[in-house]
Structure 1
Amino acid sequence: MSSGVEADIALDAAVVLTLGMNRLLGRGAGWAGRGAEALAAAAAARAEARAAELAEAGSADAAVQAVLDRLARLAALAETRAKTGADVELPAPLEPAGQSPDELRAWCAATDAAMDAAERALSEHVAAQVAAHVFGAAAEGLRTDLGAPAAPDAPAADARGVQEALERVLARLLPDVAEDDRRAVAEAARLAAEAATPEEAEGVLTEVRLRIQDANGRTRDERERAAAAEAAARAEDERRYVLDSVTEAFTDLGYEVHGGFETLTADAGELVLTRGGWPDHSVRMRVEGGGQVRAAMTRTAPAESEDDRRLDVEREREWCAAFEAARDRLAGAGIGSAVTWRLDPGVRELPVAAEKRQTGPRATPRERHRERGR
């Protein structure tokens, strides 16, 4: 073991699943509860089939992430269906607990096809709504302008042809475009409904196509931004889980843990570990966003004697034993670790921390002024 160490860490697929389901559904029962059951099942299986689990770990992690991505898309489609009032069937959400990676991948493949079909059906529903609205409005406007019903010899066949062409074009509009974009497309579609000649109608249909392309482009960009934001939020949930688990593990081992969530950034979180009998030593631990833990023991002041250096080695050995014990506890919480670098106790002098940790309450500016005046 070592007083300085780096270790790669990875969350078990069951933990990723549980955190992801909690994020999608809130911290309640249902899928999130079943995700917790999957975590417990994985922990029980670990002792019996660790080698097989490790061989499958990468595959399982990827499959779980794929399931979470599709569940998020499914939720978005359900929201769009509710907004448009469409009677469109959506695939049933998966209850992932107990599913193998192959079963998860099979569900993803089947669900992709079903969601694509549902999105097309939603687009067709929106297209029919818009076309019916604009043609109804155009016909009503014509009757109002003339003060009489439309003439029986009106070119109904031409109108039907324009409406059918318009519906085909409108069916390309993604169902979740923003309201402003939908309104802009509808305005252009209304001009097509009011066109006096086939040539004029075709020219307006071209404008409708262009507006749909622009609207779809913005919608796809927004989807990508939302997916990136969701991935970042999911990663932060995982970082927080690791920090919380590390904090709990070392607290149970008798350490005081400082920092944590207060020092959590987008890329890392830093912890400072101390013990009651360690007035001159502490351990600084950094949890990197990319899945790595770095830790090193430090001194509050330089070692000045051989006794100080012997004490350093003793503290380093204590820390080494605690780190191994913490790794076992973290494994039980679904956080695997593989040491990639270590420095044995006593190999080099301990570095001095840049700042001495303040153990008492921080003095206010007024209190510090009074102290200087004494």
Structure 2
Amino acid sequence: MSSGVEADIALDAAVVLSLGMNRVLGRGAGLAGRGAEALAALAAGRAEARTAALAEIQAYDQALRAVLERNARISALAKTRDRVGADVDLPAPLTPDEQQPLDELAAWCAATDTVLDAAEHRISERLAADVTTQLFAVPAEGLTTDVSASPTPERADTAGFSSQKIQETLERVLARLLPDATDDDRRTVAEAAQLIAGAPSEAEAEGVLTEVRLRIRDANRRTEEHRAAERRRAAEREAAEQAEAERRYVLDSVTSAFEEMGYEVQAGFETLTAKDGTVVLTKGSWPDHSVKMRIDDAGEASGVSKESRGAQGSDLGTQGSNTGGRLIRAAMRRERPAESEDDRRLDAEREQEWCEAFEAARARLAEAGIRSNVTWRLDPGVQELPVAADARQTRTRTEQRERRRERERSE
């Protein structure tokens, strides 16, 4: 056994999928039913049952996320519809339920896609109609032609050129503008479209339409880029939320494992954040010892040498699907400085006890879907136990007072 240990930790796929489903369904960090079934099959060595359970939970996870994507699109289109005042009906968002069959969720997504595509097109048509109506509310002089008179050479190219034809063409072109284009892009397109009202000929009107098409193309490109950026930000939020859920699951599992073995957890994990994950494990039979544990990202701790970790340090890196690696550092320490050989012998006993508890905790964590791979060990008693910071401060203050008294007596 060893007093210091370092191990890589990986969450089982069933745990990762369960945590993702729980967040979608608004539940706590416990395993979803399908995830628990997959872990039970793993523990029982039933490979086929585990494969089936994982496939089922993965399919359901994808279905739930598809529902959330449609709900987000409904919300975005509703905001655009209200902003432009379009009279367009939208489907109600769906609140997913774990008990709903997969085929029902898939059917809802397919039907909703059809409705939303049509709604988006109608909103775009409404915007285009509003713009063209405003532009042609007062017909420009150059947009009408007296077909009863013979065209003069100067106006020969305007024969058959009518405001109705241009208005219809412009409206079809404007309908291509995505409804969630920014106000600046809509203004830019409208400025180009306004020029058509003064076009003296069909050729010049076509030139204006070409400019409108180009501006719509650029506006739609920027709109698509904005949508892609929103998707990236949503993916980043998803990754951060998943990483936090995985970290908390590890913390809760570690807490349960050690509490079941008689340890007390001070400063409960519920108060922790991703930036500060420190807790202290104690036992009633340990008046002079404790174990300090801290959760860190693997990158934050990668520059820490084994020598600086201390003899009783335990670094456990969690490698979930989204976390990129985490470290749980555990170090046994003294609450007051060792003063005799008996204290040091007791330290070695406590270190051995802690190492055995750590191995027992590893077995319990494996049952919870948290696999570990030890990569570094240090035997008990190789280095002296560090002293808790508050104990060191108390000792320093006491020594300072003693030195002050000695100086006063010597004077």
What does the per-residue CA deviation read over 1:67-87, in whole Å, with 9 as the maximum and x for residues that have no partner? Answer: 222211221111111111112
Q: How does 1:18-167 map to 2 (within 5 A)?
A: 18-20=22-24, 35-36=25-26, 42-43=32-33, 46=36, 51=50, 52-97=52-97, 98-136=99-137, 138-139=138-139, 142=140, 153=146, 158-167=162-171
Higher radius of gyration, 1 or 2: 2
Distance in 1 (alpha carbons) for counterparts of 2:253 and 2:31: 21
1:349 to 366, 374, 379: 379
Answer whether contact 1:13 1:60 (CA < 8 A) is retained: no
- Alignment coverage as a number of residue pairs: 330
Distance in 2 (alpha carbons) for counterparts of 1:262 and 1:161: 67
What does the per-residue CA deviation read over 1:35-73, in whole Å, with 9 as the maximum and x for residues that have no partner? Answer: 358999944994698644333222222222222222112
**Alpha-carbon shift at residue 222 of structure 1 (Å):** 0.8
**Alpha-carbon shift at residue 90 of structure 1 (Å):** 2.2
Counterparts in 2 of 1:17 and 1:164: CA distance versus 1, 3 Å = farther
Counterpart residue number, 2:330: 297
**Alpha-carbon shift at residue 358 of structure 1 (Å):** 4.5
TM score, norm. by length of structure 1: 0.70
**Aligned alpha-carbon RMSD (Å):** 4.4
**Alpha-carbon shift at residue 118 of structure 1 (Å):** 1.7
What does the per-residue CA deviation read over 1:123-148, in whole Å, with 9 as the maximum and x for residues that have no partner? Answer: 11111111111212x53xx58xx9xx
Matched, 1:275 2:281: yes
Instruction: Tell me the percent identity.
Output: 34
Q: Name structure 1 gaps, 5 residues minimum.
A: 21-34, 332-336
State the AA in 1 paired with 2:104: E
1:312 to 351, 363, 384: 351
1:213 to 203, 210, 217: 217
Distance in 1 (alpha carbons) for counterparts of 2:105 and 2:28: 13
Distance in 2 (alpha carbons) for counterparts of 1:261 and 1:157: 74
**Alpha-carbon shift at residue 342 of structure 1 (Å):** 3.6
Distance in 2 (alpha carbons) for counterparts of 1:43 and 1:342: 30
Counterpart residue number, 1:339: 371
What does the per-residue CA deviation read over 1:259-291, in whole Å, with 9 as the maximum and x for residues that have no partner? Answer: 988762xxxx56334223473633344456724
1:6 to 5, 8, 21: 8
Answer whether contact 2:292 2:331 (CA < 8 A) is retained: yes
Distance in 1 (alpha carbons) for counterparts of 2:383 and 2:238: 36
Distance in 2 (alpha carbons) for counterparts of 1:217 and 1:234: 25
Counterparts in 2 of 1:46 and 1:281: CA distance versus 1, 3 Å = closer
Answer whether contact 1:12 1:61 (CA < 8 A) is retained: no
State the AA in 2 paired with 1:339: R
Give the secondary-structure state (helix, strand or coil) at the position aligned to 1:255. strand
**Alpha-carbon shift at residue 100 of structure 1 (Å):** 3.3
Distance in 1 (alpha carbons) for counterparts of 2:370 and 2:248: 19
**Alpha-carbon shift at residue 220 of structure 1 (Å):** 0.8
Give the secondary-structure state (helix, strand or coil) at the position aligned to 1:173. coil
Q: Name structure 2 gaps, 5 residues minimum.
A: 42-49, 148-158, 297-317, 405-411
Give the secondary-structure state (helix, strand or coil) at the position aligned to 2:200. coil
Counterpart residue number, 1:255: 265
Give the secondary-structure state (helix, strand or coil) at the position aligned to 2:89. coil
Distance in 2 (alpha carbons) for counterparts of 1:357 and 1:113: 64
